[in-house]
Structure 1
Amino acid sequence: MLDAAEADSRWALGDHSGSLSGDHPRCNRRIPVGSIVRAALSSLRPTQMAVGMRQVSRKLRKLEKRSDDPRRFDRFLQDRPIPAVYGPGGSLFIVDHHHLGLALSLAELEGTYVRVIGDASRLSHSAFWKRMEADGRLYLYDEHGRRVSPSMLPESLDGLRHDPYRDLAFDVRQAGGYDKVSRPYAEFLWANFFRERIARSVVQRDPKAALRIATKLARSKRAAQLPGYAC
């Protein structure tokens, strides 16, 4: 499995002749809410600051397994459209699947499928950000859990930063430490819970030990107010 450093070095999948590479032009016209559009990855705007790079690496592996069959690969992406909202100027702001989007970008593909779930393009920038946060479609915290302004959000998927606690939160859920829920950014809430209780040096140097500690914490009463608490 690729680690964060390998993923961050822009590991490529190789030749994708006939697949998404070169086949998904930038979308220049708006389509109705609820529709699916093919959009250039470079045009997609993140609504969060960070991701877990180990999770991105896992998605790169999944992409690699499907890369030798263009039709299967295209169907895989059609079944996983990235939800996005039209913002000021007609830009597409994605509100989920940031890990998948970054994996596709690191794989040096050009485009993917996007499902338009809202159109706030008529709003001013300030009104847009207020609406997005009120709707739970914006996460204004950096890779250290610090509050940031919307102007600090990366302008492209390649600008997303690595948060090791986001990886830890995903691993704890995979280990059964808590349940998956539909609440937006739930795993970031768990990431911040672990951030306050487990030293960063432990998370980075000994992921297995961090996972044991975090899983025990997730099942303790201290985590009872977090989404997906399973005990």
Structure 2
Amino acid sequence: MHAHPQLIHTRLEKLHPTQITVGKREVALKRKHWGAMGRKARIAALSSHWFPAVAGPGERFYIVDHHHFGLALLEEDVKTVSLMLLTDLSWLGLPHFWNVMDHHQWVHPYDSQGQRCGFDAIPGRLTAMHDDPYRSLAGEVRQAGGFSKDVTPFSEFLWADFFRARIGRKLLDHDFPAALHRAIKIAGAQEARYLPGWCGVAEKA
């Protein structure tokens, strides 16, 4: 582990994800926000944003966060970004590399049904990640104040799984505002109190 994380400039298209899915609706919202920014604001945003990454086998960089922003930038034809290198694991074999990543909670090998998969199911590029609409729902619930941003790794995926078990896919696909309204309401329920960033009121014993 580096005493001081290194900053590296690299091509965005070469970055590897550490998760199988993203919320494509959230990616679209980030693209819309980027499209509304002027040139100077875009330059400032890129210069101040670092993707946390790990150097892996085969001289590849694996980002461990900000997948939605990275994919949005790719779709907006951004070429180069800055990485904050957390550690260098490039000398490990691939199976051991993924085990170490898993130990540090730097990988989330779960599919769009919330099922854990083998590490080989993780796409080799950001553009190949699958859509999980419940991850988009979780992101918008947080934006609406339904729960707080939390440092727990992949916390919004935990919320996505909570909503997945309680809000039907048909409602989510055909009436997102109604699904969002319901999700915000149940986010404060006692049954959600185990989740990171829960903002409900704890019941007295």
State the TM-score bracket (shorter-chain normalisation): over 0.9
Are 1:52 and 2:27 matched, yes or no? no
Q: For 2:53 and 2:198, locate their aligned partners in 1 and report how far apart those are by CA, in whole Å.
A: 28
* Contact map agreement 1:49 1:140 (CA 8 A) in 2: yes
Aligned partner of 1:194 in structure 2 is 163
Which runs of 4 or more aligned residues in structure 1 lie more than 6 Å from their structure 2 counterparts after TM superposition? none
* Contact map agreement 1:140 1:147 (CA 8 A) in 2: yes
Partner amino acid for 1:191?
Answer: A
* Alignment counterpart, residue 6 of structure 2, candidates 32, 35, 39: 35
Show structure 1 runs of 5+ residues with no match: 1-30
User: Cα deviation per residue 1:42-96 (whole Å; 9 max; x = unaligned)?
Assistant: 2100000111112111211222123x42x44222112111111001122100000
Q: For 2:198 and 2:114, locate their aligned partners in 1 and report how far apart those are by CA, in whole Å.
A: 21
* Contact map agreement 1:82 1:115 (CA 8 A) in 2: yes
* Contact map agreement 1:33 1:118 (CA 8 A) in 2: no
Partner amino acid for 1:189?
Answer: L
Aligned partner of 1:94 in structure 2 is 63
Q: For 1:135 and 1:40, locate their aligned partners in 2 and report how far apart those are by CA, in whole Å.
A: 25
SS at match of 2:124: coil
* Contact map agreement 1:45 1:155 (CA 8 A) in 2: yes
* CA shift for structure 1 position 32: 9.1
Are 1:148 and 2:117 matched, yes or no? yes
Show structure 2 runs of 5+ residues with no match: 201-205
Partner amino acid for 1:55?
Answer: E
Aligned partner of 2:95 in structure 1 is 126
* CA shift for structure 1 position 33: 6.0
* CA shift for structure 1 position 109: 2.2
Q: Mark the CA change 1:87 to 1:150 in structure 2 (over 3 Å): closer, same or farther.
A: same
Q: For 2:32 and 2:48, locate their aligned partners in 1 and report how far apart those are by CA, in whole Å.
A: 17
Task: Percent identity, please.
Answer: 38
Partner amino acid for 1:226?
Answer: L
Aligned partner of 1:77 in structure 2 is 46
Aligned partner of 2:132 in structure 1 is 163
Are 1:64 and 2:35 matched, yes or no? yes
Q: For 1:123 and 1:201, locate their aligned partners in 2 and report how far apart those are by CA, in whole Å.
A: 44
Partner amino acid for 1:156?
Answer: R
Q: For 1:75 and 1:219, locate their aligned partners in 2 and report how far apart those are by CA, in whole Å.
A: 36
TM-score scaled by length of structure 1 = 0.82
Q: For 1:107 and 1:227, locate their aligned partners in 2 and report how far apart those are by CA, in whole Å.
A: 32
User: Cα deviation per residue 1:163-206 (whole Å; 9 max; x = unaligned)?
Assistant: 11001101111121111101110000000010011111111111
* CA shift for structure 1 position 108: 1.9
Aligned counterparts, 1:218-229, within 5 A: 218-229=187-198
Q: For 1:78 and 1:149, locate their aligned partners in 2 and report how far apart those are by CA, in whole Å.
A: 35
* CA shift for structure 1 position 221: 0.7
